[in-house]
Amino acid sequence: MLPGVKCNEMKAIGQRMMWLWGMGCFLCATVAGAEVDADAKGRALGERWFYQLSGRLVNKPQPVINLPGKSNPAPEFRFPMLTTPPPTGPLSFAWALGTGFNQQNNPGIFNFPEWLELTATPIQNERYRKIIADLKAYMVSRGYNQPQAQALANQLFQAKFSLYFPLIRDGQPNLEALATSYSPNPYSRSPVRNTATDYYNLGLMCQKVGNFPEAAKHYTKAARTQYPQAQASLGYLHETGQGVPRNLNKALELYQAAAKQGHSVAQYNLGRIYQHGLTHGLQSIPRDVRKAEQYLQRASAQGIVAAYHQLGVLYYSLGLRIQPTALTPEQFAEWDKNNDKIVSPDENRLLQDAHDHFLMAANQNHGQSQHSLGVMYYSGQGVPKSDATAASWLEKAAAQKIPDSLYNLAQLYERGEGVRMNLTRAFILYREAARLGHAPAMYNYGLFFYQKREAGLQLTLEVPESFVKTYPAESLPAEMVKLNPEKNAFLADAKAFYQERGFRNKKLELLLPGGQPAYAKAVLAQLMAAAKLTATKDPQEEQLGGDDPVTAYAWWKLAADRGQVEAQKNLEVLRQILSPEQLQIAETLATKENGRINANPLKAPSPLVQAKSTLPFQAKDWSTGFFVSEDGYVVTGKHMLHSGTQFQVVTENGTFPAKMINLPGDLDQYLLLKVEGDYQFTPLRFSASHSTRAADSVQVLGYQMPRVNQGTMPNAAQAETQIERVLGAQADPRFFTLQQPVLGDQVLYKFTKHLDKFQTAVATTKSAIAPKANVVQPLQAQSLTQIKGALRTVHPLLGNAEVSIGYQLTEALGYDPVDHRWVKNPPRNSRAILHEKGRWVVLDNRTILAVPPLNSVLEGQALLRISAIPGMVKQGEDFRRLYQLAETLLTAEVPGKRPKTVLEERILDAQFTNVHHTPGFRGTALLNQRGQAIGLFFPGFRGRTPDVFRNFSSYHQYLLKSDHLMAFLNRLPAVRYSTLKPELPKVASNDSVQLDEQAYLLAKAKASMVLVQVTDGLSVAKGAKGGSQP
């Protein structure tokens, strides 16, 4: 059996590998003069040959999409030699193997799980794990729960297998193998290709699997279009010399270009560099405190947690250096709060600023800031001295395995400062810090053994997850004491900790300063019995400390090698005490522990990773927004004023506080915001509407409400449609009418009966008689009247919904307006008007007077379509979407015991069933083919009734032209919007893939789109000292 292969898998591959192994043995054993293990070499050669031949002879992997209710059977490997005598000779063997593969016209992918288990190297397996983990993390960031995220990650991996497999196998993508229906973006199924986003994300994935040169290549392509995320990532590679020659000046240039566009991580990295300075060879970036403060303030104003910490470090170092004599008399009087003519450390304003910034980061679980607060409270720097508060912050930092925090906390427990003295806890903390390479902790840990100090016992027991939930670590000792307060009083000083141990179990570590392990074991058994659990193993006990000069020598040697002065001085004392045999044992122990420390070195967090944690913003509402000028003016929906006046603008590059600009007379739609700071954003370009014609193709951009099962985050989305008319409802010249109702929450329902008094059955493909329009249309009109009235009683805003009964075409059909009949595949010179696939057809008694063929429409029957404003409304104690209220009306039983009305009975009898739901946009821009906005629309502010200004209140197919927005912006001369088409970037002539102009223009428009959030002001991420201004 091959190493690592399970028995049941041998049934599937055993025969094919048998011949490969045999041939390998033959070839290896017959090499003249070679002294080899023919069996082992044969296995190796067989596996290698099988992999190489299968990779060469099996058809190239193709993307596979699992459709609902269908499965993709694994491809077969057919080997003629399994039923015929084995061929002889290597060439015959290769030929037989090659011709035995299944030659399907449309084969699926090869057996990837088998390849991953049998053939893939550890590096390839690690790449696969990183890719799946990254895709899952991306889905979680979109608001999906863990099972949903895992399923979606697997689906995306399978759908874009031809992109991911080369990444796993070779560490770089093969774009030529990618299906044309997919873009190179590894996080998206979008068909739009050649955009900066695609190249950036592709570079990001290459960086995550460790191929930095390939990542730099894709980042460079994206950075040519001034894409800030690519500029920041490429800058980091130049700063660190990964994949490109290290070049600090190039890194600085790229960081500055990205920071100018508001990229928060680039701002953070610039602040970090200027705070400490950076040198490499002849290149040097000098330290510049003012620039460091400026960039860190901007990053912190966008909620970057690490920037708050770095500002804390900056103010802390300045506070320690400043002398009271350097203060002006006014400053001295302001600092000296108690008027004692002395500026004490807790009155130092710079140290107080440092504390405030550390606190902002520490509250977001930033470990280094938690450690810094512990030091400041212990020393009384910027705050009154408090050992208890210091211990509390150090406990939080120690939980993140920060060596200095573990060491400082151990000292507090050893001395009983701010906490109850606990040598057992101190011993464990010293040991943990020592094993992380902390030299002072190594010395203090060895001191326990040199001074013969016993620190109690540690019990270790594996417990199930249910035990952890029943008895949390902080309350476990108290629960043990409760069982018998008198006898178990000694357990009050015990400390409990849980460590990860497998998928379902945890490792309990119980520290017993007072000893008595047998009694403690009995108490633990009582707790397990009370929880109806049984331990799989007996608890293990370990004596902590004691007389052991050999262990003391080993740890002092490790500390001395790391420059610890006390260890260097006292190591000679132990050399005189220990025998040669003991010294040899101690040296061996030191070598072993040093190897373990070096095998798991502490890694400094990557600036690109640690800066991505941001302060929370408790949004009350949100909307789509668009930058309309480079200097940060944003247009969004005025409806958000119902939820608050504190705004936050979320972009790809960072998050920015924004203030409202008051302008009257805005057609009840627009709200103008301004992002403070000297930035250069990508604005949305405008075009006058007069050049637009009916039937022009247009793109709708905006953020969609998520589906109920799609997580909680709004989705940046686009929809393609056409201009139906250049006028709105009632020929309103201010509006376009779109061909498809893509703006609102749209739901399709099928139903079995009309709502007329006879409850006439709906015609389907199974009906004996083909439906006639003159019969069907009145029935549909009566049903619509009933449904609209019912919707209006549920909620006034549902009175604004667009409701229609019609047919959605599943194939293109022509309609002859003279003979009033439908034609399949009409010739070009036909008078039939072509209706594309997906078109919604309504019997209107004017243009359409015939029912389309039911075998050419969705569900084979007429459907009800409702398009409602994509908003949330309060119903009782809950908030629900408007379309959900409509769905409850149509599909749910009438609550309570009251008798049903006639209409309610008819609705239930009609058996409405949800066929499809398309989320609506909360704010949109309408783009022409040049990437310019010809219209924008947002939900209304006052919620007008349906019969007044229908274009404004229906939120259906009517979209306000850009002319009115430009007139609105003209009232504020400071808003410098542009009507010029975006310029195309220069592309290198040797690029294998040339720039797609349409994709680029669409990408530039997308870059102007932002998510605007609003709150009531209680949860706004406040800016750092100085705000976001330089």
838-851 tens-digit pLDDT: 889 999 888 899 99
Structure tokens at 923: 């704010």
Structure tokens at 313: 């470090």
pLDDT number for residue 802: 86
For residues 526-541, one letter each, b for 16 or more C-beta atoms within 10 angstroms of the residue's C-beta and e for the rest, the string is ebbeeeeeebeeebeb
Q: DSSP state, 339?
A: -
pLDDT number for residue 995: 65
723-771 tens-digit pLDDT: 888 887 777 788 888 888 888 888 999 999 999 989 999 999 888 777 8
700 versus 6: the higher-pLDDT residue is 700
Say yes or no to pLDDT of 544 above 90. Answer: no
775 versus 189: the higher-pLDDT residue is 775
Cβ-Cβ contacts under 8 Å for 174 (sequence gap 6 or more): 162, 163, 166
> How far, in Å, CA of 157 to CA of 131, rounded?
9
* Mean pLDDT across 187-194: 65
* Mean pLDDT across 601-623: 60
Model confidence band, residue 66 (pLDDT cutoffs 50, 70, 90): very low
Model confidence band, residue 785 (pLDDT cutoffs 50, 70, 90): very high
For the chain, give the mean pLDDT.
Answer: 79
Say yes or no to pLDDT of 661 above 60. Answer: yes
Q: DSSP state, 485?
A: T
pLDDT number for residue 942: 57
Both ends of the chain: CA-CA distance in Å? 69
Model confidence band, residue 644 (pLDDT cutoffs 50, 70, 90): confident
Say yes or no to pLDDT of 805 above 50. Answer: yes
Say yes or no to pLDDT of 406 above 60. Answer: yes
Between strands 933-937 and 715-725, the pairing is unpaired
pLDDT number for residue 761: 92
> How far, in Å, CA of 592 to CA of 604, rounded?
24
Q: Output the CA–CA distances (angstroms, integers) from residue 999 to 3, 159, 207, 261, 528, in the order listed.
A: 50, 22, 24, 21, 63
Tell me the sheet residues that pair with 540: 460
351: closest CA among 389, 331, 377, 328? Answer: 377
| Proportion of the chain above pLDDT 90, given as a percent | 30
Q: How many helices (H) and strands (E) does the chain have?
A: 34, 28
104-150 tens-digit pLDDT: 223 344 688 888 888 889 899 999 998 999 888 888 877 778 888 88
Say yes or no to pLDDT of 576 above 60. Answer: yes
Task: Identify the top-confidence range among 316-330, 516-530, 567-581.
Answer: 567-581
> How far, in Å, CA of 283 to CA of 273, rounded?
13
Model confidence band, residue 853 (pLDDT cutoffs 50, 70, 90): very high
Determine the CATH number of domain 454-545.
3.30.70
**CA 920 distance to own-chain centroid:** 22
- Hey, how many other C-beta atoms are within 10 angstroms of the C-beta on 796? 13
pLDDT number for residue 14: 46
Domains 454-545 and 623-740+921-1030 share a fold: no
**Out of 140-144, 208-212, 544-548, least confident range:** 140-144
Q: What is the pTM of this model?
A: 0.68
Contacts for 67-71: CB closer than 8 Å, 24+ residues apart:
none
Tell me the sheet residues that pair with 636: 625, 671
pLDDT number for residue 52: 41
Residue ranges per structural domain of the chain: 7-245, 437-453+552-596, 454-545, 623-740+921-1030, 745-919
Model confidence band, residue 477 (pLDDT cutoffs 50, 70, 90): confident
**Out of 827-836, 976-985, 987-996, least confident range:** 987-996
Say yes or no to pLDDT of 74 above 80. Answer: no
**Topology of the domain covering 623-740+921-1030:** Thrombin, subunit H (2.40.10)
Model confidence band, residue 100 (pLDDT cutoffs 50, 70, 90): very low
Model confidence band, residue 664 (pLDDT cutoffs 50, 70, 90): low
890: left (phi over 0), alpha (psi -120 to 50) or beta: alpha
Angle of helix 7-29 relative to helix 90-99, nearest 10 degrees?
150
Q: DSSP state, 986?
A: P
Contact, 843 vs 777, CB < 8 A? yes
Residue at 542: amino acid letter:
E
> How far, in Å, CA of 670 to CA of 841, rounded?
33
Tell me the sheet residues that pair with 863: 750, 806
945-962 tens-digit pLDDT: 443 445 666 667 788 888
29: left (phi over 0), alpha (psi -120 to 50) or beta: alpha
pLDDT number for residue 94: 26
Q: DSSP state, 160?
A: T
Model confidence band, residue 182 (pLDDT cutoffs 50, 70, 90): low
308-325 tens-digit pLDDT: 999 999 999 888 887 777
pLDDT number for residue 332: 76
Contact, 886 vs 794, CB < 8 A? yes
pLDDT number for residue 197: 81
Say yes or no to pLDDT of 155 above 80. Answer: yes
pLDDT number for residue 882: 85
pLDDT number for residue 249: 93
Model confidence band, residue 1021 (pLDDT cutoffs 50, 70, 90): very low
428-460 tens-digit pLDDT: 899 999 999 999 999 999 999 999 888 888 888
> How far, in Å, CA of 313 to CA of 605, rounded?
16
